[in-house]
Amino acid sequence: MSKEANKTLIGAFVVGAVVLAVTGVLLFGGGRFLSQKKTFVCYFEGSVKGLNVGSPVDFKGVKIGTVTDIKVTFYPKERSFNIPVLIEIDPTRMTAMGNKDPMGKLSQAMMIGGKTLMEQLIDRGLRAQLQAISLVTGQLGVGLDFYPKTPKRLVGVDQAYTEIPTIPSSMEQLQNTLEKVIASLQNLSLDTMVDNIADAAKGLNKVVNSPEVGESIRSLDKTLVDLRTLVNNLNNQVGPLASGIEGTMQEVRTTVKTINERIGPLATSVEQSVNAARVTLEQTQKALVNVERMTSENSALRHQLLDMMKEVSSAARSMRIMADYLEQHPEAVIRGKGKTGGE
């Protein structure tokens, strides 16, 4: 009779296998299932030789994604080809300031004015460009950056993904410039260039040997002679003029020196006068204070002055009475007051 299988052991084996499978997916899949990556499409005009699946996608030098697919699409009706390059951007590689999400994910569904966040960035000049990773191996990557002055060139074929406009790489721009220069040189024939040089030489010879040029040279020679004479005259006049200026400056220095010598005593005298005036003012203020104290209501001098004024007033009244009496009896001066009239 066979022994019954241990169910606990089988269950533990199954759980362990599941754990190992999940761990393998997380480790070897780079956490693909736990991230919300977004795929975009780019159409490059030139060759994409050196760009491979897995090539990095950088934003200002920071890796934010990878290239996931490169295809060649043929359009029978137009008899044309294009090369869509699919790139995958990981939002967790970017952080939004003020975002409460601990992963710092950027919402691709953010709508402002009916446009997603990526469409808004494209309107501001976000462009994709092929960039060299290694000049030795020729490997390329996709670089994202803002070029607001470049046109927004959209192919608009694959509607399944948001398209990021592209611009030529630096090497493509240099190559296009060289091709234009070479094409311009090819359009010029050698015979035409030789004829143009010969015509230019004839014209130059004609101008050099023309009478007008000779007359102009003679006029210029005469002008130089006149200019030399004028310079000599100026040199002759500059000497006396400089001597006169030097004499005037010497007189000014003497005057300034004299004024400086006189300013010292004058300033001393003014300072002494000011000090004397200050002393006089202080004495006057003290005298006014004393007068104020002497004329106050409670001062003894004021009471004495009042008494004296009363006595003077009484004496004046007696003098007035006496004057009136003498006016009526002038003989009283000789006879006395009691011996006048019928006495």
SS3 letters across the chain:
CCCCCCHHHHHHHHHHHHHHHHHHHHHHCCCHHHCCCEEEEEECCCCCCCCCCCCEEEECCEEEEEEEEECCEEECCCCEEECEEEEEECHHHCCCCCCCCCCCCCCCCCCECCECHHHHHHHCCEEEEEEECCCCCCCEEEEEEECCCCCCCCCCCCCCCEECCECCCHHHHHHHHHHHHHHHHHHCCHHHHHHHHHHHHHHHHHHHCCHHHHHHHHHHHHHHHHHHHHHHHHHHHHHHHHHHHHHHHHHHHHHHHHHHHHHHHHHHHHHHHHHHHHHHHHHHHHHHHHHHHHCCCCCHHHHHHHHHHHHHHHHHHHHHHHHHHHHHCCCHHHHCHHHCCCC
Shared-domain flag, residues 44 and 162: yes
Q: What is the mean pLDDT of residues 178-203?
A: 73
Among residues 181, 202, 237, the one where a domain terminates is 181
Provide the pLDDT for residue 147: 93
Say how far apart CA 24 and CA 31 lie, in whole Å.
Answer: 10
Q: Is 163 contained in some domain?
A: yes
Provide the pLDDT for residue 142: 93
Provide the pLDDT for residue 241: 67
State how many domains the chain has.
3
Say how far apart CA 337 and CA 106 lie, in whole Å.
Answer: 138
Provide the pLDDT for residue 108: 44
Shared-domain flag, residues 40 and 122: yes
| Domain limits for position 280 | 211-293
Q: Is 196 contained in some domain?
A: no
Q: What tens digit of pLDDT does each residue of 127-169 get? A: 999 998 888 888 999 999 999 988 888 887 777 888 899 988 8
Provide the pLDDT for residue 227: 80
Shared-domain flag, residues 67 and 168: yes
Shared-domain flag, residues 39 and 170: yes
Shared-domain flag, residues 45 and 164: yes
Shared-domain flag, residues 147 and 268: no
Q: What tens digit of pLDDT does each residue of 245-298 get? A: 777 778 767 877 776 776 667 667 767 777 777 777 787 777 767 766 666 666
Among 18-32, 51-65, 100-114, 254-268, the range of highest mean pLDDT: 51-65
> Is pLDDT of 53 > 90?
yes
Q: Which tops the pLDDT comparison, 178 or 243?
A: 178
Q: What is the mean pLDDT of residues 330-339?
A: 61
In the block, tokens 């966040």 appear at 117
Shared-domain flag, residues 287 and 299: no
Among 10-24, 58-72, 96-110, the range of highest mean pLDDT: 58-72
Q: Is 5 contained in some domain?
A: no
Shared-domain flag, residues 289 and 301: no
